[in-house]
Amino acid sequence: MRIRTAGVVAVLGLALAASGCGDNSKDEPAAKESPKAASGKLVIWADDKRTAALKPFAEQFGKDNGVTVEVQAVSKDLQTNFVTASQQGSGPDVVVGAHDWIGNLVQNGAIDPVQLAAEQKSSFNETAIKAVTFNGQLYGVPYATENVALIRNTALAPEAPKTIEDLVATGKKLKAEKKASEILCLQSGQNGDAYHVYPLYTSGGGYLFGTTANGDYDPKDLGVGKPESIAAFQKIAKLGEKGDGALKRSITGENSIATFTGKKCAFLVSGPWAIADAKKANIAYDISPVPGFAGGKEAQPFVGVQAFYVAAKGKNKALAQEFVTNYVTKPELAVALYQAEPRPPALTAAFEQVKGTDPDLAKFQEAGKNGQVLPAIPAMAAIWDPFGKAEAAVIGGADPAKTITAAGKTIAGQIK
């Protein structure tokens, strides 16, 4: 409640900023190069961590080929900034990001398909190639995959649970013995988290989108609101606050890893990014697939892929294609990016190379082996928010059937 000079003027400014019409250049990185400088220069946008890893390789590429390569860090809202900038003609030539951006980037005409030779394609993990394929076209070159798994504190729970029921029983026992205060650290928060709850949802029988004949996700066949999804959420509700109390809204994205490293819960559902914290906290841990419900289907986590994209409106598309298709496909770069942030490389050769030094990697890979590729279709954008909020409501004790049917209706209304 700061007032200061506020007044109508500030209010107007706020309203305009919120509508995206205020000052468009505000959030953009200082990347506005002069139009004349475009020749022989490749501009890459990535987030902070990847920028640091990419820089030496990009410089090497530049030196080898007599061009300048600039890697620019866009620390916030990379996707939105990229779409806005490319629309204004001030975007980069190459952008690095998650594969579920593809649908949105394509519908805004921001990226072009890439052409990989057959032997290049076969050097990648199959799931990764499937993830970057949209409308039958390859839109990016993947470099790393990621998925959630069950990370467990082996001092508290030496055995990997076979089912969720096993896990809950162990968790309750630990709670009764005052060795832990929570059964399971699976982040939800007041607004839910579709990504982390997804393995339970699939184990309960639910699905998001059906698939078309060619294996693509079909936005017309929406699974949320169908009887399968109701059945899945009824099982989830049993784990919720009015049931076992294994799922709680008080466990959020901000505190879930800290609660686990603080030894307040024995089980954490998270991705490779949580490992660094667990190591720092000196916790004896092991990684296993997220267990499903007893007698239920297999729990399938989402598999996400990080990829390089060629900007459709880049000033130096030929060089961008050269970099993305012939240079990013080299294992050395994938290994370096792995060292910047430990996610399993998508290139099989690179994965083999780092597997030996990092046993966690293979375990995460194993946990994601039967995972589902995170849908990249634009319709997926309509899922996250309503699905998460319905999840939070059900965990809080709302009626699953009513909640999920309503969420399904909202989602269907948003898919054009």
Partner 1 sequence: MSTSLSGPGSATQAPGREPIRSGLPRKSRDARNHAPITATGLVVKVVLLGLVAGIAIWAAFPLIEARMWVGLAILGATTAGLCYLYLTRRHIPAKYLVPGTLFLIAFQVFPVLYTASTAFTNFGDGHRGSKDDAIVAIQSSSVKQVAGSTEYALSIATKGDPTAGPLVFLVTDPKTGAVSAGDGEGLRPVDAGSVTVSPGGKVTAAEGYTILNFGQASARSPEITNLVVPTPGGALRSNGLSRAYEGKAIRAYDAGCDCIEDSETGKTWTADAATGSFVAADGERLTQGWKVSVGLENFHRVLTDPNISGPFFGTLIWNFAFAIGSTGLTFLLGIAIALALYSPRMRGTNLYRVLLILPYAMPSFAMLLVWRDMFNTDFGLVNNLFGIGVDWFGETWSARAAVLLVQLWLGYPYMFLVATGALQAIPRELTEATSVDGASPWQSFRAVTLPLLLVALSPLLIASFAYNFNNINAIWFTTEGGPFPADNPTNGATDLLITYTYRLAFGAQGAEFGMAAAVSIFIFAIVATVSAISFRRTRQQEEVYS
Choices 105-113, 149-157, 161-169, 203-211 (CB under 8 A): range interacting with partner 1: 105-113
Choices 228-236, 313-321, 336-344, 358-366 (CB under 8 A): range interacting with partner 1: 313-321
Give which of 109, 165, 147, 404 is closest to 289, Cα–Cα.
147
Taking the complex as a whole, the smallest distance from the CB of residue 279 to partner 1 amounts, in Å, to 23
Range 163-222, binding partner 1 (CB under 8 A):
181-182, 190-191
Q: By the 8 A CB rule, do 52 and 75 touch?
A: no
Among 35, 176, 178, 357, contact with partner 1 (rule: CB under 8 A): 35
Count residues binding partner 1 (CB under 8 A): 96
Looking at beta carbons only, is 56 or 109 nearer to partner 1? 109
Taking the complex as a whole, the smallest distance from the CB of residue 274 to partner 1 amounts, in Å, to 18
Give which of 361, 350, 296, 299 is closest to 328, Cα–Cα.
350
Looking at beta carbons only, is 10 or 284 nearer to partner 1? 10
| Interface with partner 1, residue 277, by CB under 8 A | no
Question: What is the amino acid identity at position 238?
Answer: K
| Interface with partner 1, residue 6, by CB under 8 A | yes
Looking at beta carbons only, is 367 or 395 nearer to partner 1? 395
Choices 196-204, 281-289, 310-318, 352-360 (CB under 8 A): range interacting with partner 1: 310-318
Choices 14-22, 164-172, 300-308, 358-366 (CB under 8 A): range interacting with partner 1: 14-22
Among 66, 213, 282, 357, contact with partner 1 (rule: CB under 8 A): 66
| Interface with partner 1, residue 368, by CB under 8 A | no
Looking at beta carbons only, is 286 or 384 nearer to partner 1? 384
Give which of 339, 353, 396 is closest to 57, Cα–Cα.
339
Range 317-336, binding partner 1 (CB under 8 A):
317-319, 321-326
Distance of CA 328 to the CA centre of its chain: 20
Find all residues with CB under 8 Å of 392, minimum gap 6, and list them.
188, 189, 190, 191, 192, 249
| Interface with partner 1, residue 2, by CB under 8 A | yes
**CA distances (Å), origin 259, targets 6, 103, 187, 263, 277:** 40, 35, 10, 6, 11
Q: What are the start-end ranges of the H helices in 68-122?
A: 78-88, 102-107, 118-122
**CA distances (Å), origin 364, targets 73, 146, 397:** 28, 8, 32
- 286 forms beta bridges with 152
Round to whole Å and give the CA distance between 234 and 388: 15
| Interface with partner 1, residue 107, by CB under 8 A | yes
